[in-house]
Structure 1
Amino acid sequence: MDPFTLTLKEYELREILGYPHAGNDVFYVNGIYKDGKAKKAFLKVERQKTADIKREVSIINQLCFSFMPKLLDYSIDNKPRYLLTEESKGERLSYILGNNENLESCKYMDLYGELLAKIHNVKIDCEPVKPRDFTLDNKFYEKHDLGYISKYLNTIKRNDSYCFIHGDCHYANILWDNNQVSCLLDFELSGYGSREYDLAWALALRPGQKFLKTLIEYKIFLKSYRKYHTYCQKTLNYYLILFQVFFYKIALEYESDVELKERINLINDIINTTSMK
């Protein structure tokens, strides 16, 4: 959509600086805020069916963490709904770590686990998370000789524990500055939901990702998280494997055989591990 067609209340849009990849229409912009100062910001406009700007605004307004995005402007009453947040200082781990040749990622896993623990400690008025389905047809498992994984998933009796969750707390939604979390983005999938789901979604290996490829990183993350909360290991393993296979299917299109083998090895390591202490 053309962002200049929006009637912004608190911000005068001057320039489009970029178009970040996202499910909604997102623009990196420059403009003048109501205080007369020039501010760079990110403008998100609802597009996809799961978009929920109203929910995101409500959550941001209720949370008081130092790493929350700063709301500059929004509209939740008229369509298209939009959300404008000030640009935050920091970089994503994908940029900071590069190829992660020496597992430099381990230095960040402790704080990453602590971040999610802080989110799961929140007590606010919120709606249940919207359901998302990541299950794949058995034909996919059989076609790629992964039938044993499907059978393993079917043997697990989940025992989810529930709390406030972020719902989309993966590396691309976290900015880091001076080895600290400077901003956590995208709260439109937040709400009351499964903590094991949220943990697994944070740890799942996305296509092209060079970190969170080992149980070593998982264990550091989870050890930090367990200082504050407990979780069901079997349920966590279920979601971890479910998400790993989901992203494996996507990675089939462009990752090398070596990288795909690494993904299967990670899944096998999870299956063979009853605890990640």
Structure 2
Amino acid sequence: MLNRVIQQFGLQVQSINEVEDSHSSTVYKCTLSNGENVFLKIPYTKLKCQREAEAYDILKGRISIPDMLGYWSGDEECPGAFLLSELKGKPLSVMATPLAAFQVGVLQAEMHTISPVAGKMLSAIQNEFADWSNFIEKQFYSFAEDVSLVLDAHLYQKSIEKFEKMKNQLPVPDGPSFVHMDFRPANIIVDDNRVSGLIDFESVRFGSTEMDFTKLYRDFLRFDSSLYNAYRDGYNSIRPLIDLESVLPFYRFMDAFNSIGWCKRRGIKKNTLFLEENVASLKKFIH
């Protein structure tokens, strides 16, 4: 399939390497014969491919993203593929400075200012805001069967009970906004402590912002209060940040539960460490 995509875009490739930490697509970094670096991205499904294409159309000129150099809608064998420019830099890490954290806040807030356009029809990006509670429930229970095959019966039942109790305590949703759904350090590119841009849009929706902070907090913000404060200042410079303390406990619990189900689907052997981390987190949230 890779050779087919390379031919489709007419690329003269000098070297090619698969990118790690890409969960919804197969991504390759290609160095072309002229020395330029580009990325080939092949989403796992047609729906993810269509979402990404629509997201590029919505986000272009609004926030910093790679340039889409080419798009192939695929065929019976391939869901589709993107040819993308390289954003200079590396994924965000906990070694970043408060300046970078501030810019991450600005980036996310700018994305959250984007609302659905009346009359604009989208085939793949759903607007879930009006029925947000039901959307959350669907997300949670879509993984429940997988989770039940991993956890002991007592912990699984306690998790279901906790979800139902906490869901009813959530504040009024904030939106409708463009939400990334996978806003984590691996998808935020930073160069010399300046944010270059955001990548990976296979899971995006229009919905409530409250779900979009969980992975950034899990993998970045919780480790350093100076980064957290700088991020918050950056976000607030664009739009008011919701009270994260009122939503993070629920969404961190839900993230741990869903991640266990994700590991079961994608293969426990390949994701043992991530599974163990999330089972440990879930137990803390339950007790």
TM exceeds 0.5? yes
1:254/1:188 CA distance change after superposition, 3 Å = closer
Per the TM alignment, residue 176 of structure 1 is displaced from its structure 2 partner at its CA by 0.3
Which residues in structure 2 correspond to 1:69-148 (within 5 Å)? Answer: 69-76=66-73, 78-79=75-76, 80=78, 81-94=80-93, 97=94, 100=95, 106-123=98-115, 124=117, 125=120, 126=122, 127-128=125-126, 133-134=139-140, 137=144, 140=151, 142-143=154-155
1:156 pairs with 2:157: no
Judging changes above 3 Å, is the alpha-carbon distance between structure 1 residues 152 and 222 closer, same or farther for their aligned structure 2 residues? farther
Q: Which residues of structure 1 form unaligned runs of 5+? A: 206-210, 272-277
Deviations for 1:69-102, whole angstroms, at most 9, x for unmatched residues?
Answer: 01111112645210010222101123xx4xx5xx
TM-aligned CA distance change 1:199 to 1:29, over 3 Å: same
1:212 to 221, 224, 235: 221
1:64 to 46, 61, 83: 61
1:226-252: CA deviations, max 9, x gaps?
Answer: 341343653454223321454578699
1:247 to 1:77, Cα distance in 2 relative to 1, 3 A = closer
Partner of residue 38, structure 2: 41
**Aligned twin of 1:241:** 253
Q: CA deviation at 1:166?
A: 2.1
After superposition, what is the alpha-carbon deviation per residue over 1:194-223, rounded to whole angstroms, capped at 9, x for unaligned? 211112243234xxxxx4334835454334
CA contact (8 A) 1:69 1:183 kept: yes
Provide closer, same or farther for how the CA distance between residues 158 and 48 of structure 1 changes in structure 2, counting only shifts above 3 A: farther
Deviation at 1:14, TM superposition (A): 1.8
- AA of the residue aligned to 2:139: D
Give the superposed CA RMSD.
4.0
Q: CA contact under 8 A between 2:99 and 2:230: conserved in structure 1?
A: no
- Does residue 182 (structure 1) correspond to residue 175 (structure 2)? The answer is no
Report if aligned partners of 1:14, 1:30 keep a CA contact under 8 Å in 2: yes
Letter in 1 for 2:27: V
Alignment partner, residue 131 of structure 2? none
Seen in structure 2, the aligned counterparts of structure 1 residues 150 and 105 have a Cα distance that, compared at 3 Å, is: farther
Q: Figure out how many residues of one structure are paired with residues of the other and give that number.
A: 250
Q: Give the structure 2 partner of residue 275 of structure 1.
A: none
* Mapped contact 2:182–2:215 kept (Cα < 8 A): yes
Distance 2:201 2:156 in 1: 35
Q: What CA distance in whole angstroms lies between the structure 1 residues aligned with 2:279 and 2:222? A: 12
Shift of 1:267: 5.3
Which residue type is aligned with residue 57 of structure 1? A
**Kept in 1: contact 2:74–2:81 (CA 8 A):** no
Which structure's residues are more often helix, by fraction?
2
